[in-house]
Amino acid sequence: MKVQERTGAGNHRVPSPAQSAGERLPTVARERKPALAALAVLLILVGALGATVLVLRAGDRVEVAKLTRNVEAGAPITNSDVTSVMVADDDSIHYIKWDQLGTVEKTLTAKSALYSGSLLVGEMFTGEKGTPAGKAVVGLSLKDGQYPVGIKDGDTVAIYRVGDRSGSSSSSSSSGSQSGTSGSSGSSGGSVIVARATVSHAATPNASTISSGNLAVTVLVDADEAAALSQAASAGEAAIVAVPSHNG
């Protein structure tokens, strides 16, 4: 009996782990979605195209003019006022391109005050040669010592009264109170007539300038300063000093 029981028990053995590991569970067939695959490919192509356009636009650059110092209203732009920079080309912005600067210098003036660091565009300038509103143009004939060497168009200057008219004041005191007032106002040598003016034209020194000793300079000033400056200029008592083009 014991032998038979052992034999029967052997017929109901539990499969070993090695045997069960070899068996595989049934798998579910994957559902293919061609529409999603096509959409993914399309998004990749659109992204690549956008990146390509950005690279091409970044490489499409032009050389334009940028101000390196302030320019007063009505003053011309000179080569010393600007530097060249590269910017992305944009047809909606009318940049003054670097190769156009020569034309701007000869024919255009600033409509209003322009400031250092500005990129120049066509809307900033006018071809009209008239004097801007609130401004006046005054001519000076300056002797040696009354102007700095190398003064040129577009420079910013201060204008001082020089000389001592006390002698002429005392000699003309009997000519009336108006004459005495004029002499008194002119006796204070070294007073500021115009704190800031723009040289709109400075004659190039030549043989006649050297022989006469005078240099013709035209300046753009505020209209309310023109009378005092003209009076000093007619008496030969105006001197100009170069000052920074920016305030402060």
The CATH fold of domain 61-126: Type Iii Antifreeze Protein Isoform Hplc 12 (3.90.1210)
Once rounded to an integer, what is the mean pLDDT over residues 161-168? 62
Between 14-23, 115-124, 208-217, the lowest mean confidence (pLDDT) is in 14-23
Report, as an integer, the average pLDDT of 172-199: 58
Better-scored residue on pLDDT, 197 or 56: 197
Q: What pLDDT score does 238 carry?
A: 93
| 76: DSSP letter | B
With both helix axes pointing from N to C terminus, report the angle between 177-186 and 226-234 in degrees, rounded to the nearest 10. 90
Closest CA to 196 of 246, 134, 142, 130: 246
* Token output for 96: 């003054």
DSSP per-residue codes, 172-211: TGGG-HHHHHHHHHHS-TT-EEEEEEEEEEEPPP-HHHHH
- Confidence class for position 192, pLDDT limits 50, 70, 90: very high
Which of 44, 52, 104, 58 is CA-nearest to residue 79? Answer: 104
pLDDT digits (tens, 9 = 90+) for 68-108: 888 877 777 888 889 989 888 888 888 888 888 887 777 77
How confident is the model over 98-149, as pLDDT tens digits? 888 887 777 777 877 788 889 988 888 877 666 777 888 899 999 888 998 8
Mean pLDDT of the chain: 74
What pLDDT, on a 0 to 100 scale, did the predictor assign at position 124? 85
- Residue 189 banded pLDDT, cuts 50, 70, 90: low
**CATH 3.90.1210.10 occupies which residues in the chain?**
61-126
Q: What is the pLDDT of residue 116?
A: 87
**167 has pLDDT over 50:** no
Q: Is 238 in contact with 215 (CB distance < 8 Å)?
A: no
The pLDDT score that the predictor gives to residue 225 is 92
| CA distance linking residue 113 with residue 72, whole number of Å | 5
Q: What percent of the chain has pLDDT over 90?
A: 12
- Residue 227 reports pLDDT greater than 80: yes
